[in-house]
Amino acid sequence: MPAFAEISRVVKPSTFCVSFYGWNAVEAFAEAWRLAGLGIVGHIVFAKPYPSSTRVLQHQHENAFLLAKGDVRSPNADQRCPR
């Protein structure tokens, strides 16, 4: 949680931030983002050519959330991003 408070402090208002997270701790990450004043505006999945785990499933991707600080606009249009 202290890391996201610091990120929120240094990120300019009305800007985006990308945060990777562990799928098994997504609730803790979401709470830390919320407490730091960062809202979720999108989800990104990066495919990998190799599995990082082969237990029950082969994890061949990485997850990240697109976060926003304050009132942000879509980079592709003159519209606000929902939070």
pLDDT on residue 58: 83
Assign 77 a pLDDT band (cuts: 50, 70, 90). low
pLDDT on residue 78: 61
**pTM (whole model) above 0.85:** no
What pLDDT digit, counting tens, does each position of 35-53 carry? 999 999 999 999 989 888 7
pLDDT on residue 42: 93
HEC string of the chain equals: CHHHHHHHHHCCCCEEEEEECCHHHHHHHHHHHHHCCEEEEEEEEEECCCCCCCCCCCCCEEEEEEEEECCCECCCCCCECCC
Evaluate if residue 80 carries a pLDDT over 80.
Answer: no
More confident of the two residues 82 and 45 = 45
Domain boundaries, the chain: 2-69
Task: Report the share of the chain in percent with pLDDT over 90.
Answer: 54
